A and B are shown apart, each in its own frame.
Chain A
Amino acid sequence: MSTKNWPLWEVFVRSKNGLEHRHFGSLHAADAEMALENARDVYTRRNEGVSIWVVESKNITASNPEHNGELFEPAQDKVYRHPTFYELPDEVKYM
């Protein structure tokens, strides 16, 4: 039995310059350097990326979907944050 298991890492890949890094999946590796190398082999075998980020999964803090109500509801009734809320005469152009 191994003394200690390789920790889990989350992999983010930028598919081309101009686009953001996107979550691609996860993998196990002994350290960050190995995580990068493994991510290259596991997630970019067909030129899917030009840049990779890895972050140890335990360092990610995630919101709890059970609290989605109090977290996201406040944005729901604020229609005045959208341009369609404002009534303008049809004659107004370029706005």
Chain B
Amino acid sequence: MSEEQIKDLEKQFEERIARDEKIEPKDWMPEKYRQTHIRQMSQHAHSEIVGMLPEGNWISRAPTLRRKVALLAKVQDEAGHGLYLYSACETLGISRDELYEQLHSGKAKYSSIFNYPTVSWADMGAVGWLVDGAAIINQVPLCSTSYGPYARAMVRVCKEESFHQRQGFEIMLKLANGTPEQKDMAQDALNRWWWPSLMMLGPTDAESVHTEQSMKWKLKRKSNDDLRQQFIDQTVPQAELIGLTIPDPDLKWNEERGSYDFGEINWDEFWQVVKGHGPMNKERMKARVGAWEGGEWVRDAAMAHADKKVERKTKQAI
């Protein structure tokens, strides 16, 4: 194709998206669109998969059977969400093995929030309430993104995710109304998870490199700072309701803006964790790669069994 023809196709492509038409796997698309989507969708899938690890840590020690079945169901959902997203990503012509290889080699990123440790049961509450809460704010706009398979996967994810946040908040509510020790536990978890949750919504608009292009492709409908403000405004009253204190001395209602003003975020910490120096980066990758390598014989055995069955059938037919 000549350069001019490609320019023409690109123009038609942008117009289709502007008209809210969806792009489907076999449609022509600019290479940059394909690459950007592979990057974002795989990061999203990896986050779901790695996101199982901090919570898996507490399944065997959940305080009651009710809490245990709920946590188990939530972790199972995350596996499911990872699988929806991986298969949506594969429609762009990358294989599942390549995607795993990118995660395991450290080439692909996942949400930095999962590099923090889950040290007490209250962390299960804080993760569900805050981390899933922030994730929902990020994900709801993606239900109408331009790439069809991604949008469809996100509709399913969002539908399932709301129980995750509610079960987390319920854990916090229960602890906050419990003994003084239990309330302290809840407050401690909030103290540790609040700032990483704010960082989870991404660098400030001034620092965010992909925003403009992503807005055009509807991979993003609101800027990181707007999403962060929305998260703070809806979460602060929830904390007040259960008598917990947001660990930010500068947090103040701004009557004029109709929003909360908040303190400075420690972006150095954020970039350190992104670059692999968070408290649990190495541990998470070790667990993930270990699970993949440890499962290899199972995958091979299943394939060998499937091949044998086909062979037996063919022999019988002769």
Minimal beta-carbon separation of B196 from chain A (angstroms): 29
Most buried by A among B26, B83, B88, B309: B83
Chain A residues with CB below 8 A from B296, complex form: 2
Instruction: Out of B76, B77, B90, B306, name the residue touching A31 (CB < 8 Å).
Output: B306
Q: A2-B299, A5-B97 are in contact. Are A30 and B305 (CB under 8 A)?
A: yes
**B: contact size bracket:** 20 to 34
Bound-state Cα–Cα, A16 to B295, Å: 36
B97 touches A30 (CB 8 A): no
Q: Does B87 contact A (CB under 8 A)?
A: yes
For window 63-92 of A, CB contacts with B under 8 Å fall at 64-66
Interface string of A45-60 (1 = CB under 8 A from B): 1100000000000000
Q: Does A14 contact B (CB under 8 A)?
A: no
Q: A25-B153, A65-B27, A66-B28 are in contact. Are A6 and B160 (CB under 8 A)?
A: no
Bound-state Cα–Cα, A25 to B309, Å: 26
Chain A residues with CB below 8 A from B305, complex form: 30-31
Q: Does B302 contact A (CB under 8 A)?
A: yes
Minimal beta-carbon separation of A9 from chain B (angstroms): 10
For window 1-46 of A, CB contacts with B under 8 Å fall at 2-6, 8, 25-28, 30-31, 34, 41-43, 45-46
B27 touches A27 (CB 8 A): no
Nearest residue, chain A, Cβ from B152:
A25
Tell me the B residues contacting A by CB distance below 8 Å: 24, 26-28, 73, 76-77, 80, 83-84, 87-88, 90, 95-97, 152-153, 160, 296, 299-300, 302-303, 305-307, 309-310
Tell me the A residues contacting B by CB distance below 8 Å: 2-6, 8, 25-28, 30-31, 34, 41-43, 45-46, 62, 64-66
Bound-state Cα–Cα, A31 to B84, Å: 19
Bound-state Cα–Cα, A6 to B96, Å: 10
Nearest residue, chain B, Cβ from A11:
B87
Bound-state Cα–Cα, A37 to B194, Å: 39
A-B residue pairs in contact (CB < 8 Å), sample of 26: A2-B296, A2-B303, A3-B300, A4-B300, A4-B303, A4-B307, A5-B96, A5-B303, A8-B96, A25-B88, A25-B153, A27-B83, A27-B87, A28-B96, A30-B299, A30-B302, A31-B302, A31-B305, A34-B302, A42-B83, A42-B84, A43-B80, A45-B76, A45-B77, A45-B160, A65-B26
Bound-state Cα–Cα, A28 to B174, Å: 40
A64 touches B26 (CB 8 A): yes
A6 touches B90 (CB 8 A): no
Bound-state Cα–Cα, A89 to B80, Å: 58
Bound-state Cα–Cα, A6 to B307, Å: 11
Nearest residue, chain B, Cβ from A9:
B87
Minimal beta-carbon separation of A86 from chain B (angstroms): 32
- Across the A-B interface, the 10 shortest Cβ-Cβ residue pairs: A31-B306, A30-B302, A30-B306, A26-B87, A30-B303, A4-B303, A65-B27, A42-B83, A65-B26, A42-B80
Chain B residues with CB below 8 A from A42, complex form: 80, 83-84
Chain A residues with CB below 8 A from B76, complex form: 41, 45
Q: A31-B302, A62-B26 are in contact. List 16 more A-B contacts (CB 8 A).
A: A2-B299, A3-B300, A4-B303, A5-B97, A6-B299, A25-B84, A25-B87, A30-B303, A30-B306, A31-B306, A41-B76, A42-B84, A43-B80, A45-B77, A45-B80, A65-B27
Bound-state Cα–Cα, A66 to B303, Å: 36
Minimal beta-carbon separation of A1 from chain B (angstroms): 8
